[in-house]
Structure 1
Amino acid sequence: MRILFVHQNTPGQYKHLVRRFAADPAHEVAFIGKVRREMPGVRIAVYQPSREPGTATHPYIHMFEGQILHGQGAVRAGLALQKQGFVPDVICAHPGWGEALFLKDVFPDAKLMLYCEFFYRADGSDVGFDPEKPVSLDTRCRIRTKNAALLAGLEAADWGVSPTEWQRHQHPAVFRPRISVVHDGVDTGICRPDPAATVTLPDGRVLSRADEVVTYVARNLEPYRGFPTFMRAAGEILRRRPGTHILVVGGDEVSYGTRPAEGGSWREVMTEEVAPDPDRIHFLGKVPYETFLSVLRISRAHVYLTYPFVLSWSLLEAMACGAPIVGSDTPPVAEVIKDGHNGLLVDFFDHRAVADRVEEALDDPARMEAMTGNARRTVIERFDLATVCLPAQIRLLEDLHADRLPPLPPG
């Protein structure tokens, strides 16, 4: 089978699939992306959009114009592969940046599987979730237009895959019957508890499981991942518990949403508001993966908060590493965490309730030991990379290639 993977941030969610197929000489693998990252056995085609979207473009379609430019870049990369003699049987593509728009026009005989990570909604999702940010008619119109590239990709696709049921359900009902739910997977052989784990702070102090450590992780520290709520809770926790240390992992950029209106980073804004004890809250920034795992392994309470949005890998990695979870009672977190069984759920906006549940975890280590055991079993049974997710992804691709997928329901 010839497989083409397409993701602007090479390799994105396809890292494990690419490795598996590239290691098998029965398959030929190519990758189209904006970033060149060499992978053994993989033919790489890099593209760049020919220009940025025009400054005079209507705001509703500014993003769509950028996606079209990305799609054209992917077309040029696809034509280059075609000239080299590579014509895929199956294409796996993330449609979010527009690369999937025209792939079926370049390779009409290939089967196209989309990574259906998210579909924008003006109700029941991230937009309008914060009651202090009501949804205007202008926002509703903009959100509807924001789905243009996703809809075009879905219409062209032969099948799709979403990592959680809630993320699948965000897509229009007409497309859901041809979207399977298969998570990217967590390597539970790497993500596992280690009682001997330690974390060395910038000042040289060393923290371990013997210390009372609370943790928070996000790619970037921002409201979508509940950072303001967490920081207010952190202030409460540090005041209540003089021996607690808090480790915060994440950058100061913006992955989702916007920067603070007053300028600066959300870390700076919230640190100024809360004024936590700087000797006991430690902002580690972005850290190597092994350090990230050590942070999770020494955690006595790991706080994971999110808008109703894409589920972070870090939640499942924390569960696999044995960190007691205090998570927001929001989708799709509640799809994974059952309150009192494999974690503790809490109101996303209630920072005092977050602090209370963190204290609940810190004060009852025996209960947490049972809960973290259940959490790791949840990950192994539902999200394990080697035994659950990767085999399901491979089977889905093989079924798509062989026309073994179920027929769409009538109408």
Structure 2
Amino acid sequence: MTAQMKILCIHQNFPGQYKHLAPALVQRGHEVVALTLKVKEPTQWNGVRVLPYKINGGSTQGIHPWLGDFETKLIRGTSCYNGAVQLKKQGFTPDVILAHHGWGESMFLKDVWPRARMGLYCELYHLASKPFVGFDPEFDKAPPDTNALRIRMKNLNNRLHEEIMDAGISPTRFQASTFPEAWQDRITVAHDGIDTDLVRPNPDATLEVGDGKVLTRDDEVITFINRNLEPYRGYHIFMRALPEILRRRPNAQITLIGGDEVSYGSKPPKGTTWKQTFIDEVKDRISEEDWARVHFLGRVPYDRFLSMMQVSRVHVYLTYPFVLSWSLLEAMSAGCAILASDTAPVREALTENETGWMVDFFDVKSLTDRLCTLLDDPETRARLGQAARAHVREHYDLRTRCLPQHIEWVERLLAQTPRPARD
């Protein structure tokens, strides 16, 4: 058993990626404290002492657009620093700091506790080369001759954290590979994990989609999920396929989960949303009767998300070369037949004709054709769904694989010689 540690978790939306890890560390006898913007008053959560910190300052009007992103992170970093100073005055000195550094919060914590070991959640390093920039020219309007400069500035937060990172963890090989060579020997690849006992097939699942209509496994349900409905996750491609899908599948029910905001990439035209933009683009080609079979559910509680996966006949997942969505692996764990984009992060989790089918991200016709073929082939759907679930159980299961990897990674940190903040 590793010696008892004092562990500080930093995540602006705690617990975030530490949802399972933080309580598991408490159960192993470690003292775990979290600093976050998520709460307004100190509280306890699954044995974790959760403390708020406050944002001090605001963004500068008219600042250079390349600097605006970093200024926001700098404000979070200095604000979290102030919260850490107060925590130190109360007598708390962590042995290990676990941080999702993407929002800049952990930037100055080695200045507060120079002997603490810093373990970073390495989600993505921004690259200026194709396919990371220019993958979808329809929405990438940045001048190509200055893209490398802009991306370099976007990585300021990453670069400053590299100096103080004692170890990193990344959920996929693809995401880890985006980081520079200087990071690589410190990054462990281990996914956050899927609770495959919870996310499992359920032949009796039902999904209410409005006006009293309830979908079951007997219905031809096509599912599509984004955190927010936007181009980075292929919403525009799916919508452009929708008129023909509805025409060719007169019994299909299309269900979509996702919000109206922007998680990644460019903003929609002023005064609208990406969701509405692509509804407007295709709706004239869809009859009222067919449109009644399209159900936008918005953002939903997890149990409803799970029900949607469990009634799905085919789940469509599209993404740019970017962070892999948990929803793909959850759909696989639920036994869905998957039709996904043939992009690098997907190829790591999915094998063509073994655990799913893949299509070129931009090929609307191929998406429609392969979707219809899969809907007409129950034997193939069953084979793919069973293999997909088995793959997730073997490689991404929370309790038997991923959580033990994360716990081991944290406890190894104690043996590291901490890297101090540099002038």
Task: Give the CA deviation at 1:258.
Answer: 2.6
Give the AA of the match of 1:117.
Answer: E
| Per-residue Cα deviation, 1:178-215 (whole angstroms, up to 9, x for no partner) | 11101011000110000000101211011111010100
Q: How does 1:170-189 map to 2 (within 5 A)?
A: 170-189=178-197
| Per-residue Cα deviation, 1:292-332 (whole angstroms, up to 9, x for no partner) | 01101111110000010111100000000011111100121
Q: How does 1:66-215 map to 2 (within 5 A)?
A: 66-132=72-138, 133=140, 136-215=144-223
Give the AA of the match of 1:81.
Answer: L
Higher relative contact order (CA 8 A, sep 6+): 2
Structure-1-length-normalised TM-score = 0.95
Task: Give the CA deviation at 1:261.
Answer: 2.1
Distance 2:132 2:238 in 1: 18
Is 1:322 the counterpart of 2:322 in the alignment? Answer: no
Contact 2:319 2:343 in 1 (8 A): yes
Aligned residue for 2:374? 361
Number of residues of Structure 1 aligned to a counterpart in Structure 2: 404
Give the AA of the match of 1:34.
Answer: L
Contact 1:126 1:309 in 2 (8 A): yes
For residue 121 of structure 1, give the secondary structure of its aligned residue in structure 2: coil
Give the AA of the match of 2:306.
Answer: L
Is 1:30 the counterpart of 2:36 in the alignment? Answer: no
Partner of residue 294 from structure 1, selected from 292, 298, 307: 307
| Per-residue Cα deviation, 1:45-70 (whole angstroms, up to 9, x for no partner) | 21232112212432222111111111
Is 1:380 the counterpart of 2:393 in the alignment? Answer: yes
Task: Give the CA deviation at 1:167.
Answer: 0.5
Aligned residue for 1:269? 277
Distance 2:100 2:416 in 1: 21
For residue 104 of structure 2, give the secondary structure of its aligned residue in structure 1: coil
Aligned residue for 2:421? none
Partner of residue 408 from structure 2, selected from 382, 395, 400: 395
Give the AA of the match of 2:16.
Answer: G
Task: Give the CA deviation at 1:265.
Answer: 1.3
Distance 2:307 2:153 in 1: 43
Give the AA of the match of 2:363.
Answer: D
Contact 2:166 2:416 in 1 (8 A): no
Aligned residue for 1:62? 68
Task: Give the CA deviation at 1:136.
Answer: 1.8
Contact 1:218 1:250 in 2 (8 A): yes
Aligned residue for 2:48? 42
Aligned residue for 2:24? 20
Is 1:3 the counterpart of 2:1 in the alignment? Answer: no
Task: Give the CA deviation at 1:404.
Answer: 10
For residue 306 of structure 1, give the secondary structure of its aligned residue in structure 2: coil
Contact 1:64 1:146 in 2 (8 A): yes
4+ runs deviating over 3 angstroms: 131-135
- What stretches of structure 2 of length at least 5 have no aligned partner? 419-423
For residue 96 of structure 1, give the secondary structure of its aligned residue in structure 2: helix
Contact 1:60 1:146 in 2 (8 A): yes
Give the AA of the match of 1:8.
Answer: Q
Distance 1:136 1:17, change over 3 A: same
For residue 112 of structure 1, give the secondary structure of its aligned residue in structure 2: strand
Distance 1:322 1:379 in 2: 10
Task: Give the CA deviation at 1:129.
Answer: 0.6
Contact 1:303 1:326 in 2 (8 A): yes
Partner of residue 226 from structure 2, selected from 218, 239, 243: 218
Distance 2:115 2:270 in 1: 52
Contact 1:125 1:309 in 2 (8 A): no
Distance 1:131 1:57 in 2: 26
**For the aligned residues, what is the CA RMSD?**
1.5
Distance 2:220 2:132 in 1: 33
Identity between Structure 1 and Structure 2 (%): 48
Contact 1:45 1:81 in 2 (8 A): no
Give the AA of the match of 1:65.
Answer: E
Distance 1:272 1:56 in 2: 33
Task: Give the CA deviation at 1:131.
Answer: 3.2
Distance 2:253 2:47 in 1: 45
Aligned residue for 1:408? none
Contact 1:38 1:44 in 2 (8 A): yes
